[in-house]
């Protein structure tokens, strides 16, 4: 994206002058495999239930929504308890318009001093840090994209960041961090009085246990999740966080009043009620991830082992391959990582189209 130029009269903050609006290209393509969405649309049962709930809600839209989204938070807590055998209540859960808004709220409430993250990782963490004026420290990953926990702890002790981010499974690499490693980081962050933010946007696609199970042990641990991926609900914009109730109380200080519309809250409740249908896609996507990885490897391509609904793979000339694929109607993601591209797992038809286009682009290498 080209950098915008601004008229001299506009009193834009100086620290935003060289920034471009974030966003993956929204290009019409036959196979849209660039933003890690779930390729399957909602089940007809869920669609019908949403429509009839929206009809009821429509008559109440003259009123503001429940400011604290209590029913939705309670329902999310029940879902998490079912997954992780925890006993969280609504007091442990906060919900917002996508997990991006959750991240922004964390910065607004806790973003003093510095924030630390281990790159490459989700690019919105440093971007939201910048927009909310929290200096960002880059922690490194090893060449295989794992986090060296001893080094990470050293950085935490040296810099005392208020917020330390780890994403597991990580975007864009798909790699995971074990619960034991998360516990070690949580202890280190606890010692320096910060918060460890574990971004689990893709957790449902992983076979590892969720860090939700550690919340009761570590008050300094915050887990972010979303309905955008496994729930196939990206358009509804619902992200949430599970943490110690004191963290949630602090977020109430910075949330905008009535931030989550009645429509969004109702949609979330209905989607949770019908979750069995939506989450049934997770198994298919995990299987297709493994088949696609094998297929790429059989083509001589290096693939990073992934626990998410996407694969990071290496190519000699990412920019050329990206354009070649787009010409064939397949939109994937150039994540700006030298020598790599990322593809979201689509339907079997979309995956086949991707493989065919990739084969034709890299030609002789297969
Ligand atoms: C690691 C990670 N966290 C958070 C998000 C934001 O998701 P949403 O705002 O749709 O909940 C994404 C989206 O791709 C992501 O990859």
The DSSP result for 249-316, as a single string, is HHHTTTSPTT-S-HHHHHHHHHHHHTHHHHHHHHHHHHHHHHHHHHHHHHTT--B---SSSEEEEE-S
Residue 90 pLDDT greater than 70, yes or no? yes
* Residue whose token pair is 């929504």: 65
Evaluate: CB of 200 within 6 angstroms of ligand 1.
no
Predicted local distance difference test score (pLDDT) of residue 22: 82
Predicted local distance difference test score (pLDDT) of residue 1: 59
Cβ within 8 Å of residue 65, ≥6 positions away? 258, 260, 261, 262, 264, 265
Within 13 Å and on the Cβ side, how many CA atoms surround 334? Answer: 17
Q: How confident is the model at residue 366 (pLDDT cuts 50, 70, 90)?
A: very low
Q: Are 341 and 334 in contact (CB under 8 A)?
A: yes
Query: Which atom of ligand 1 approaches the CA of 226 most closely?
Result: 11
User: What's the predicted TM-score (pTM) here?
Assistant: 0.97
Predicted local distance difference test score (pLDDT) of residue 4: 79
Q: How confident is the model at residue 2 (pLDDT cuts 50, 70, 90)?
A: low
Fold of 14-41+279-365: 3.90.1150
Ligand 1 pocket, mutate which of 76, 96, 99 (most atoms under 8 A from CB): 99
Residues of the chain with CATH 3.90.1150.10: 14-41+279-365
What's the average model confidence in pLDDT over 33-58? 97
What's the average model confidence in pLDDT over 127-140? 96
C-alpha 360 to ligand 1 mean position (Å): 31
- Between helices 44-58 and 262-273, what is the axis angle to 10°? 150
The residue count of the chain comes to: 366
Give which of 261, 193, 251, 201 is closest to 54, Cα–Cα: 261
* Residue whose token pair is 């935003």: 16
Residue 334 pLDDT greater than 80, yes or no? yes
C-alpha 153 to ligand 1 mean position (Å): 25
Structural domain 44-273, CATH architecture: 3-Layer(aba) Sandwich (3.40)
Evaluate: CB of 171 within 6 angstroms of ligand 1.
yes
pLDDT tens digit sequence for 285-326: 999 999 999 999 999 999 999 999 999 999 999 999 999 999
Q: Are 174 and 306 in contact (CB under 8 A)?
A: yes
CA gap 132, 239 in Å, rounded:
19
Evaluate: CB of 306 within 6 angstroms of ligand 1.
no
Residues of the chain with CATH 3.40.640.10: 44-273
pLDDT tens digit sequence for 183-236: 999 999 999 999 999 999 999 999 999 999 999 999 999 999 999 999 999 999
Q: Are 360 and 61 in contact (CB under 8 A)?
A: no
Residue 135 pLDDT greater than 70, yes or no? yes
Q: How confident is the model at residue 82 (pLDDT cuts 50, 70, 90)?
A: very high
CA gap 356, 34 in Å, rounded:
17
What's the average model confidence in pLDDT over 228-256? 98
Residue 340 pLDDT greater than 70, yes or no? yes
C-alpha 47 to ligand 1 mean position (Å): 23
Helix (H, G, I), strand (E, B) or coil at 359: helix
Q: Residue 100, Cα to own-chain centre: how many angstroms?
A: 8
């Amino acid at each position: 994206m080209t950098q915008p130029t601004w008229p001299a009269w506009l009193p834009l903050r100086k620290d935003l002058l060289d920034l471009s609006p974030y966003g993956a290209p929204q290009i019409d393509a036959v196979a849209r495999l660039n933003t890690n969405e779930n390729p399957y649309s909602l089940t007809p049962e869920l669609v019908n239930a949403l429509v009839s709930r929206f009809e009821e809600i429509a008559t109440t839209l003259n009123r503001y929504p429940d400011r604290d989204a209590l029913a939705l938070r309670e329902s999310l807590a029940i879902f998490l308890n079912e997954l992780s055998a925890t006993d969280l209540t609504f007091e442990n859960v906060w919900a917002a318009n996508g997990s991006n808004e959750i991240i922004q709220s964390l910065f607004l409430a806790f973003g003093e001093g510095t924030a630390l993250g281990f790159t490459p990782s989700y690019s919105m963490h440093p971007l939201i840090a910048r927009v909310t004026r929290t200096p960002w420290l880059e922690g490194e990953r090893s060449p295989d994209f794992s986090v060296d926990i001893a080094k990470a702890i050293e950085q935490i002790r040296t810099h005392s960041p208020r917020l330390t981010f780890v994403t597991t499974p990580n975007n864009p690499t798909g790699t995971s961090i074990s619960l034991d490693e998360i516990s070690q980081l949580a202890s280190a962050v606890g010692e320096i009085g910060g918060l460890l933010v574990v971004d689990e946007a893709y957790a449902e696609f992983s076979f590892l246990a969720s860090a939700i199970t550690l919340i009761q042990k570590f008050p300094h641990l915050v887990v972010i999740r979303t309905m955008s991926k496994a729930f196939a609900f990206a358009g509804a914009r619902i992200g949430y966080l599970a943490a110690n109730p004191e963290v949630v109380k602090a977020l109430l200080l910075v949330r905008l009043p009535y931030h989550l519309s009645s429509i969004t809250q109702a949609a979330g409740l209905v989607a949770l009620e019908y979750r069995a249908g939506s989450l049934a896609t997770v198994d298919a996507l995990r299987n297709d991830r493994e088949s696609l990885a094998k297929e790429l490897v059989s083509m001589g391509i290096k693939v990073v082992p992934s626990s998410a609904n996407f694969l990071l793979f290496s190519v000699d000339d990412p920019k050329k391959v990206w354009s070649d694929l787009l010409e064939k109607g397949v939109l994937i993601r150039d994540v700006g990582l030298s020598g790599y591209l990322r593809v979201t797992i689509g339907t079997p038809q979309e995956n086949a189209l991707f493989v065919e286009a990739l084969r034709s682009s890299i030609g002789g290498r297969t």
